Structure 1
Amino acid sequence: MGQYRGLADIYDYLVAGVDFEGWIDYVEDILKRFSCKPCTVLDLACGTGNTIIPFARRGYKAYGLDLSAEMIEQARTKTRQEGLHIEFTVKDIREFAMSEPVGLVTCFHDGLNYIIREEDIAKVFCCVCSCLAPDGLFIFDLNAVSWIGATADGPVVIEEPDLTIIYETVHNREDGLWSVALTGFVREGELFRRFKETHCERGYAPELIKGLLSAAGFETLGVYDAFTFNDVHQRSRRHFYVARKSYECR
């Protein structure tokens, strides 16, 4: 089974403790820091909409892209329930285009760590550069190489009355890869539905990412320890990047 198919129905339960409104508060602090006032936001790898719905609540014109049709369906349902309008599209973020420029492009919660080849990261960056307004910003996060390498191998079990999830984690530290084989059992009436997925992430060093951004036509404005404006350090778990089109590409 592909990624985020069987998991889509329970994903929001698993991330219930994440303060996504706080994430967008931080993004708006970044926008103020760089005097950027976008009206439109495109969220890549938007999943069930947790990092684009808060933008729509705040009055932005919002778009979301994700490769998983199941995750997009969850996002559409949540959006309808709140009476919001967000244009969601099932699309590979390595090959997309927009009909009009957008003022802000985001990709959060490990979305780019799932792109495990440098050349594919470069494709994403080129697509973003093509759709971004001249003074717009590209803001995204990546799990740090050191954090991915430090997580323990072996099984982890989550047991709840209506679901059980078993994670089997394997590292390839030489290549910076982190693979998780996931088996889930979700209650449906008197029975449990079983699903299996494999998720793989890669960590990227900041210098490599800045080089790929530059090659795609971006100027890197900052790389921050998550939710601060401090420089990244060895204990940083998550890095936030802020980039703007270079003057030559505007």
Structure 2
Amino acid sequence: MSSYDALAASYDALTVDVGYRRRADYLARQFRRSAAPVETVLDLACGTGTIACLLAERGYQVVAVDGSEEMLTQAARKAAALERPPLFLHQSMPRLRLGMTVDAAVSTLDALNYLTRTADLKETLRRVCRWLRPGGLFLFDVNTPYKFRRMDGQVYLDETEDSYCVWRTFYAPRQKICTYQVDLFRRTGDGTWDRTFEEHRERSWEREELEAFLKEAGFDDVTVTGDLTSRPPAPEEDRWIFRCRKAVNS
């Protein structure tokens, strides 16, 4: 089973505290500050499409891709009422193929941490650069090494009226891999509970590694900040935001 296949139907209810509108507002502010106008946007690993839909509501033409068919099913339902819904594509990140260029690309909520192989991350960055217009903006966030170390051995609970989710986290510092073991209980129509299990793996990437990979892929003007701020990241930062541009001569 792929990551988030079982969680797809319950994902939105379990993540109401994420602050999607605030994150979409932040992205839109960065687009407005861009030297080149932003009209078309790629949402990479869009999940259930919340960010993609919020950007579409703000007038952007959005192409959104994800590797989970179940998450995209939820995204399509969410977008059905929009006047200009995003175009949803079922693709893995290292196999990104748009067939069109975009003005900007975003990837939110640590999607790139799910790329645990260096080759897959490098190929993803190369492909994002390929489909960006010269000077195009790329914004993404990652969970930090500090956060992964802090999460080792922790148990997290999320619940709604019809679902109960238990996350157990284990961090292996030598491999730089954080494993999430997820038990999801969902209430069925007859009042009983159905249990499913998923295992997620995220890679801890150092800031210097990501900066080097971005430059190798064809990006320049790389800036790193704390989450949803313009300040440099603090030592104990849970999430970094990377902001860069496709080199004009790339």
Give the conservation status (yes or no) of the 8 Å contact 1:101–1:131. yes
Residue 94 to residue 214, structure 1, CA distance change in 2 (3 Å): same
Q: Does 1:233 align with 2:231?
A: no
Aligned to 1:40: 40
* 1:3-26 Cα distance to aligned partner (Å, 9 max, x none): 111100000011111221211211
Residue 75 to residue 146, structure 1, CA distance change in 2 (3 Å): same
Q: Which amino acid aligns with 2:193?
A: F
Q: Which amino acid aligns with 1:118?
A: T
**SS in structure 1 at match of 2:94:** coil
Q: Does 1:223 align with 2:224?
A: yes
Normalising by the residue count of structure 1, what TM-score does the alignment of the two structures yield?
0.94
How far residue 193 of structure 1 moved from its aligned partner, in angstroms, is: 2.1
How far residue 233 of structure 1 moved from its aligned partner, in angstroms, is: 2.3
Q: Identity over the aligned pairs, expressed in percent?
A: 29
How far residue 80 of structure 1 moved from its aligned partner, in angstroms, is: 0.3
Give the conservation status (yes or no) of the 8 Å contact 1:155–1:168. yes
Residue 117 to residue 152, structure 1, CA distance change in 2 (3 Å): same
Q: Which amino acid aligns with 1:3?
A: S
Cα separation, 2, equivalents of 1:236 and 1:207? 15
Aligned to 1:165: 165
**SS in structure 2 at match of 1:10:** helix
Give the conservation status (yes or no) of the 8 Å contact 2:47–2:72. yes
CA RMSD of aligned residues (A): 1.5
How far residue 154 of structure 1 moved from its aligned partner, in angstroms, is: 4.3
Aligned pairs (5 A) from 1:207-222:
207-222=208-223
Q: Which amino acid aligns with 1:210?
A: E
How far residue 235 of structure 1 moved from its aligned partner, in angstroms, is: 1.3
More moved, 146-155 vs 14-23: 146-155
Moved over 4 A (4+): none
Residue 220 to residue 17, structure 1, CA distance change in 2 (3 Å): same
Any unmatched runs of 5+ in structure 2?
none
Q: Which amino acid aligns with 2:121?
A: I
Give the conservation status (yes or no) of the 8 Å contact 2:143–2:240. yes
Give the conservation status (yes or no) of the 8 Å contact 1:149–1:176. no
Normalising by the residue count of structure 2, what TM-score does the alignment of the two structures yield?
0.94
Give the conservation status (yes or no) of the 8 Å contact 1:220–1:241. no
Give the conservation status (yes or no) of the 8 Å contact 2:13–2:160. no
Give the conservation status (yes or no) of the 8 Å contact 1:97–1:130. no
**SS in structure 1 at match of 2:148:** helix
Aligned to 1:195: 196
Aligned to 1:58: 58
Cα separation, 1, equivalents of 2:229 and 2:71? 29
Aligned to 1:70: 70
